[in-house]
Amino acid sequence: MIRKTLLSFLFVVSQPALWFLLKANRGISSLSRFVINVRSYISTKTGKRSQITNQLIANHFAAGDLTYPRSREMIDQNIEVPASFSAAVNLRSAYDNNNALPERRISNKTNGPEFAKSLGLKTPKQLFSFLSFSDVPIVENSVIKPQYGFYARGVFIVKTEHEILELNTGRVFTSLQSLKQHISYLLNSKVVKKDLWKVEAFVSDKNGNPPNDIKFYAFYGQIGWVVEIQRFPEAKYHIMNGSGATIKSSRYKESQCFVGNGVNKEDLLLAEKISLEIPSPFIRIDFIRASEGLFFTEFTSRPGVIGRLSRQRDHLYGTYYHQAEARLYTDLINGKAFDKFKPYVTSQHVSSS
């Protein structure tokens, strides 16, 4: 009760604090624009180059804050216009009408695996789907997961009826009754939004443990970065660039990172090839690294990392995004058919995720 009261108090007082900070930020931004205009005026009258000013603007402003003459001048000076991956994906999503975007048609746990199979990818064997939890059978060596979910929330590995591991937390349930109580909590607290579940065969790593996730962030034929996630015995992360080399991320503490097994050239080429079969500038392609190799799990068009990248990486991947758009438009104009994708733009394949 005390905790709830404290949180309610913080919620109330945070509103005027937020108002003040946003107003202050707006004021500072206006002052910055004034100084920029003054420098531009002086530059025009004296013939002094404004390259230093433009570089500062590129480092601190978003592309939407620039006039076209300013961006054109930056291009002429070989200064990269500050593209934004987050802005690009958010704007594309904002104008998505009833999940009509092509990538949304495969961003669910039904169409995604179907499409992956048409590309020759291995997927875990599907046992049951679209069941309320009360109807879910407890099958040894299986995985129970929400039909619509993310972040591995509500995913359970069933070894036996008396040994059921919650992947996201590492908690082990030894009875069906305790598991059902926990499921009720997940649904009531909206950690899992819908009481719809699927069951698939458990695919393990070479040691019999839950396999690592391998997530490729792909820009229509180019891999931007890769994330390897160890889920068991605790969550740890390995961030790589588009060539598979380890990079540091400000999102995770050193204790949250691990060396991992990484990806090889064949893995990267596979992800690139898959992304070229999808008429979208960006898609995340998820696999698990099992003892038998990579198994596809899902496609994601709106990953949770949106808006949480460093400015430098957001700019880099924004550039990748718009370059991918150009490549995609060129292919469409030249008549690329996307034959394997076409069935998923028919009415019966609309995503409901």
Give residue-wise pLDDT tens across range 283-310: 999 999 998 999 999 999 988 888 888 8
Of these ranges, 115-119, 167-171, 253-257, the one predicted with the greatest mean pLDDT is: 115-119
Q: Residue 352's pLDDT band (boundaries 50, 70, 90)?
A: very low
Note if the bond before 211 is cis, omega within 30 degrees. no
What is the 8-class DSSP label of residue 257?
B
User: CA gyration radius for the chain?
Assistant: 24
Q: Look at 153 and 337; give whichever has higher pLDDT.
A: 337
Q: Tell me how far apart the alpha carbons of residues 176 and 162 are, in angstroms, rounded to a whole number.
A: 7
pLDDT at 353 over 50: no
Q: Tell me how far apart the alpha carbons of residues 271 and 285 are, in angstroms, rounded to a whole number.
A: 7
CA distances from 325 to 89, 92, 205, 229, 337 (A): 12, 12, 37, 29, 16
Cβ count near 197 (within 10 Å): 24
Q: Tell me how far apart the alpha carbons of residues 57 and 40 are, in angstroms, rounded to a whole number.
A: 12
Q: Look at 227 and 91; give whichever has higher pLDDT.
A: 227
pLDDT at 107 over 90: no
What is the 8-class DSSP label of residue 183?
H
Q: Give the tokens for residue 291.
A: 């003892």
Q: Residue 317's pLDDT band (boundaries 50, 70, 90)?
A: very high
Q: Give the tokens for residue 331.
A: 């292919």
Half-sphere exposure for 145 (CA within 13 Å, toward CB): 24
Cβ contact 301:104 at 8 Å: yes
pTM of the complete model: 0.85
Per-residue pLDDT of 57-105, as tens digits, reads 777 777 777 777 887 887 888 888 888 999 999 988 887 766 688 999 9
Q: Tell me how far apart the alpha carbons of residues 247 and 216 are, in angstroms, rounded to a whole number.
A: 14
